[in-house]
Chains A and B, each alone.
Chain A
Amino acid sequence: MQQHGPAQEQQREILVPQEDDLEQPPYLYPGYVGTRLRAPKEPLIILPKTLSDITGPVYGHRKPGELDNDLTRQHGGEPQGQKIIVHGRVLDGDGRPVRNTLVEIWQANAAGRYRHKVDQHPAPIDPNFSGAGRTLTDDDGYYRFITIKPGAYPWQNHYNAWRPAHIHFSLFGRAFRSRLVTQMYFPGDPLFFQDPIFNSVRDEKARGRMISSFDLEATIPEEALGFRFDIVLEGRDATPFERPHA
């Protein structure tokens, strides 16, 4: 064991990695086998709030392409499956819109297969579906994707393990501290009960915030079902930095 002074030791604020926040997943969740060798075991160190985390990448300068938010029109033909609209608003904890922020999504096709070399699930690849999209939120924090409903897929986590249908979401928000990667689920999925990734969020209401709601108003007659998914990120607008008095 390394020797160190008691004064220094006192300054070190610690927090055990197995956090008691039931509204966010812990790092170690043994039911999800993949966490066992990847969850840190040393205490997390509290990082004071500074300019380094109240700032973050602003994506106004990297405009997604026009069709990047329509996953059904990225190839010559239409993809297989149920066409859906996935839309909603990105808000901060005070309910204010997070404007002009990059939203990236990726997902399996209607058969539950990812177009990825590592995915060995023997369900068909869809030549007309890549399964990736991105867009920027508008001035109301609003975003919209057109895609197809992803299929459930099996994985090796435990016997007869299936992931509920989901779309992966990645968001930046206004600062490094508001970065979020999550998954959007569909209402009433019968696979929720056996999925450790979904259930790693131990608070039931918090789990509900990952489930989209069916949205009749967003539904396009004769064409696509609508689902609403609002996302709440950390981070008020950071107060502009004030210089310390010299």
Chain B
Amino acid sequence: MMGRKESLRLTPSQTVGPYLSLGLLREDWSKLVPPGHPQAIRIEGTLYDGAGEPVTDGLVEIWQAAPSGRYDHPADGREELPLEEGFHGFGRSGTEEEGRFSFVTLKPGPVPGPGGTTQAPHVMVAVFARGLLKHLITRIYFEDEEEANGQDPVLRSIGDERVRSTLIARKEAGSLYRFDIRLQGEGQTAFFKLSA
């Protein structure tokens, strides 16, 4: 259109490379709440490559809503839903120790989905590593949210039960959940492409 500013093209992505911890793991951002928080949950997992070997130079980031289902972000204007003091919903964990990552966080609440649907409690996940020229996106859902998961528009869109199950964190003892991420091969985790 005449007079309209041409849109800028995006800067391309490049791998984090093997030394990401220098720049991105200077502080421990894996605890979104103090471990002693009464509602704290722990999410643990291992990042595996296509040969089933742990990836020891990776990075896992999470982004999630508060237990009320509200995101601590200006685009979520639902002010009637409470945010948690000191809880912002972002976490980052390296995988230097045998591919393992972990987070101490709060369980997110359900959040609105497309067309008036409700999304089950979930955590957005970004995976970075040497050998990943751009990050991978997946989601963590929770095994003990069976009913909500059954209504979730994203899970429902995945016909293959085996694929769907890679998105569900297994509940282990107490408040511990296990969520392994497999980049390739047998049992590969379902990865997403964000629609424009």
Contacts and interface: CB of A to CB of B under 8 A. Distances in A.
A38 B9 contact: no
A144 interface: no
B154 A23 contact: no
- Where chain A touches its partner, the secondary structure class is loop
B192 A44 contact: yes
B195 A46 contact: yes
A93 B8 contact: yes
Interface string B91-119: 00000000000000000000111111001
A53 B75 CA distance: 10
A124 interface: no
A32 interface: yes
A51 B75 contact: yes
**Residues of A in contact with B, size category:** 35 or more
A23 B10 CA distance: 8
A51 B23 CA distance: 29
Contact of A40 (B12, B24, B126, B136): B136
A39 B10 contact: no
A238 B71 CA distance: 13
Interface residues of B, number: 82
B10 A168 contact: no
B124 A52 contact: yes
A56 B71 CA distance: 8
A188 interface: no
B184 interface: yes
B99 to A, nearest CB: 12
Contacts of B148: none
Given A118-B19, A241-B112, A42 B24 contact: no
Given A2-B161, A39-B184, A55 B10 contact: no
B160 A180 contact: no
Contacts of B72: 55, 58
A209 B157 contact: no
A218 interface: no
A104 B29 CA distance: 14
B87 to A, nearest CB: 11
A201 B53 CA distance: 28
